[in-house]
Amino acid sequence: MGAALLRRLAQGALVVLFVVATCFTLIRLAPGDPFFRALDEGSVPAEVRSAQLARFGYDRPIPEQFVRYVGNVVRGDFGWSHSRGQPVGAAIAAALPATLLLVGTAGLLAFVGGVSVGAWTGWHADRSLSRGLDRLAMLLLSIPDYLLALLAVMGPALAWGLFPVGGARTEFGPTGLLGVVDRLHHLALPVLALALPIAAVVMRLQHAAMREVREAAFIRTARANGVRETRIRWRHALRNALVPVLSYGGVQFAAALSGVVVIERIFAWPGMGRLLYEGVLSRDYPLIAGGVLVGAIGTVLGTMCADLALRWADPRQRGA
Amino acid sequence: MNGAPRSRELGARLGAAFLALVGLAALAAPWLTAHAPTTQLDPVALAWQPPSAAHWLGTDSYSRDVWSRLLFGARATMGIALLAVTVSLTLGTLVGALAALAPRWIDTLLMRATDALLAIPRLLLLLLVVAGAGTLEVAPLALLLGATGWMTTARVVRQESSRLLATPHLEGARALGVPSGRLLTRHLLPSLLPTLAVAATAAFAAAVPLESGLSYLGLGVRTPLPSWGNLLADAESQPLAHWWVIVFPTLAIAGTVLAANALASALERRWRR
């Protein structure tokens, strides 16, 4: 177990390095540089421009820049964000909690909701309610998250005025308990837009798996042995039916992070997605590298958690 | 249990019919509308017209006819998605089949690289390239979508190929000394077709929202050329007052994805085992 975990960690570190190196190279190969807005004017002397590029090391070969960057990160220095005029570490520290809150809540809701609804509909697959729910899930997973977000902004937020249109909290708003309520109020729509399509996929997977497990021989055996029905359903059937859902969850983590970029833009959510989007548009090399680093670590950790859960649910995976 | 398979069959048929309809409408776009999609009919008098007899789906901020933009937008959206699927399917099949046929160390290398690429959020990768290139033409955009989407296909093909290679038919062919290239084209690929059909439909269902999402962000198809995604962006400032500019492209995107998903799940059900 310990050796396997260490090997997974090493693999994960390699993946993070690979991802950051890819993005690091891609953005430097792209036309433009962090100063293209400020220093591309014809009136800026060429010496000033090249001096500024040299000051931050952007005139060096890309591999050298990358090695220097990794060295700096290891020492805890993420560089200077040109577009924000603050250290990248500070920008990330300000944006990360908002995104963790958004993604964490959405992920939890999607998995808990998807698994429990899917388990129920799969177990009672013959009822018309469960067929209807399955069809509803099909519809939900077909609406891209940004369209759900747009519709949410149009309906509940703008037309009915039930929810705030954007932001993570009311500026100069209430504090204390009311402040928490205010934050939850802001959180509701972006979380729903992000969670519903994922929940729908999880639900359908869980539905199919539960339906298959229901007919399995070991369920019949357990029932013949007089195991209580609730125990059969929650311990025997659900645990086995979780396997495909968990292996999906690991793969899907990166895809869910893609959704964050658009959702955060639509709801003006002050998180990592917006940070990255703005960073890419302004070619803020250090900001992009820092954001990608955090995103890659998040993805790898998410995948590893899914793997660990998979080993718990399916002992056959432990040998691998 | 009785009604389910038939209604699923119906869902798949409806899905296929809807996709065919959208495809036909895209091809026949010039004959289905009186206005060119980029013509600004009368920016003063005809901007933001709600749906009417003259303009079935209304007009946008530049007084362009939304119905014609939707029709011609289908060309961009469907065309890009189809090209992207072709690219990703070819790449994914090659990598997956190669991994299954090749010696173990090549297999491990290919699959670990695939997993690593899957760990990069796809939108981020696209954002980096697209924003870097400034503006992308339609064809490079489609190629890019394909080049970033082959990984799931590769995994599925790798899995299915290993399963197929263990079946008597392919084991026999291998034992008879059929060379790898011939084994791939004559024996493996035909058996993979059902899997590939499902993968293609699913990839299509993923490519449509991706393209429209990028275009919505202003990084995909650029106005004045219409695509379903950049139609949405036009009404972003006042979505409620100009609901028709948002609702109809939304229906088109969601309907197409739903149709493709329904078709994919029906195909999968039919060909499983």
**Residue recorded with tokens 């997973």:** A141
Direct distance between the N- and C-terminal alpha carbons of chain B, in angstroms, rounded to an integer: 20
Q: Structure tokens of A143?
A: 């609406």
Closest CA to A49 of A62, A60, A38: A38
Q: Is A1 on the interface with B (CB under 8 A)?
A: no
Residue B120 to residue A14, Cβ atoms within 8 A: no
Q: What is the secondary structure of A154-195 as a DSSP string? A: IIIIIIS--S-SSSSS-TT---HHHHHHHHHHHHHHHHHHHH
Task: With beta carbons under 8 A apart, name residues in chain B contacting A200.
Answer: none
**Rounded CA separation A208/A152 (Å):** 29
Q: Is A143 on the interface with B (CB under 8 A)?
A: yes
- pLDDT category at A253 given cuts 50, 70, 90 is low
Residue B217 to residue A126, Cβ atoms within 8 A: no
Nearest residue on chain B to A279, alpha-carbon basis: B128
Direct distance between the N- and C-terminal alpha carbons of chain A, in angstroms, rounded to an integer: 10
Question: Quick one: pLDDT at residue B88?
Answer: 95
- pLDDT category at B72 given cuts 50, 70, 90 is very high
Question: Quick one: pLDDT at residue B273?
Answer: 47
Task: With beta carbons under 8 A apart, name residues in chain A contacting B118.
Answer: 251, 254
Residues 12-71 of A with CB under 8 A from B: 14-15, 18-19, 22-23, 26-27, 29-32
Contact (CB, 8 A) for A89 and A275: no
Which range of A80-84, A87-91, A225-229, A241-245 scores highest in mean pLDDT? It is: A87-91
B119 closest CB neighbour out of A15, A138, A259: A15
* pLDDT surpasses 90 at A36: no
Question: Quick one: pLDDT at residue A102?
Answer: 93
Backbone angles phi, psi at B186, to 5 degrees: -90, -30
Range name among A77-81, A189-193, B243-247 with the lowest pLDDT average:
B243-247
DSSP 8-state secondary structure symbol assigned to residue B59? B
Shortest Cα distance from B27 to chain A (angstroms)? 24
Q: Is A276 on the interface with B (CB under 8 A)?
A: yes
Across chain B, what does the average pLDDT equal? 85
**Rounded CA separation A71/B66 (Å):** 53
A252 compared with A77, residue with greater pLDDT: A77
Q: What is the pLDDT of residues B148-170, one digit of tens each?
A: 889 989 988 988 888 888 888 88
**Rounded CA separation A308/A92 (Å):** 28
Q: What are the helix (H) ranges across B134-273?
A: 138-147, 150-165, 168-175, 180-182, 189-216, 228-234, 243-271
**Residue recorded with tokens 């013509």:** B39
* pLDDT surpasses 70 at B83: yes
Closest CA to A274 of A96, A73, A10, A109: A96
Q: What is the pLDDT of residues A156-185, one digit of tens each?
A: 888 888 888 888 888 777 888 888 888 888
B239 closest CB neighbour out of A15, A22, A158: A158
What's the burial of A266, exposed, middle or buried (CB within 10 Å: 0-12/13-18/19+)?
Answer: buried
Nearest residue on chain A to B152, alpha-carbon basis: A251
Residues 6 or more apart whose CB falls under 8 angstroms from that of A250 comprise: A302, A303, A306, A307, A310
Question: Quick one: pLDDT at residue B74?
Answer: 93
- pLDDT category at A14 given cuts 50, 70, 90 is confident
SS3 of residue B31 by DSSP: helix
Shortest Cα distance from A233 to chain B (angstroms)? 21
- Mean pLDDT on B62-74: 89
Q: What is the pLDDT of residues B176-210, one digit of tens each?
A: 888 888 888 888 888 898 889 989 998 999 899 98
Question: Quick one: pLDDT at residue A88?
Answer: 94
Q: Which pairs from A227-236 meet CB under 8 Å and 24+ separation? A: A233/A119, A233/A123
B115 compared with B1, residue with greater pLDDT: B115
A159 compared with A147, residue with greater pLDDT: A147
Give the 3-state secondary structure percentages of chain A, helix then strand then coil, rounded to 5.
75, 0, 20
Shortest Cα distance from A253 to chain B (angstroms)? 8
- Mean pLDDT on A56-66: 89
**Residue recorded with tokens 């009368």:** B42
A154 closest CB neighbour out of B116, B243, B261: B243
Q: What are the helix (H) ranges across A80-235?
A: 88-123, 128-142, 145-152, 176-214, 217-224, 229-231
**Rounded CA separation B252/B249 (Å):** 5
Residue A22 to residue B120, Cβ atoms within 8 A: yes
Q: Is A140 on the interface with B (CB under 8 A)?
A: no
Contact (CB, 8 A) for A186 and A164: yes
**CB atoms inside a 10 Å sphere around CB B216:** 29
Q: What is the pLDDT of residues B90-103, one digit of tens each?
A: 999 999 999 988 88
Question: Quick one: pLDDT at residue B200?
Answer: 92
- pLDDT category at B223 given cuts 50, 70, 90 is confident
Residues 101-130 of A with CB under 8 A from B: 125-126
Q: What is the pLDDT of residues A210-249, one digit of tens each?
A: 888 888 888 888 888 888 888 888 888 888 888 878 877 7
Closest CA to A206 of A137, A268, A295: A137
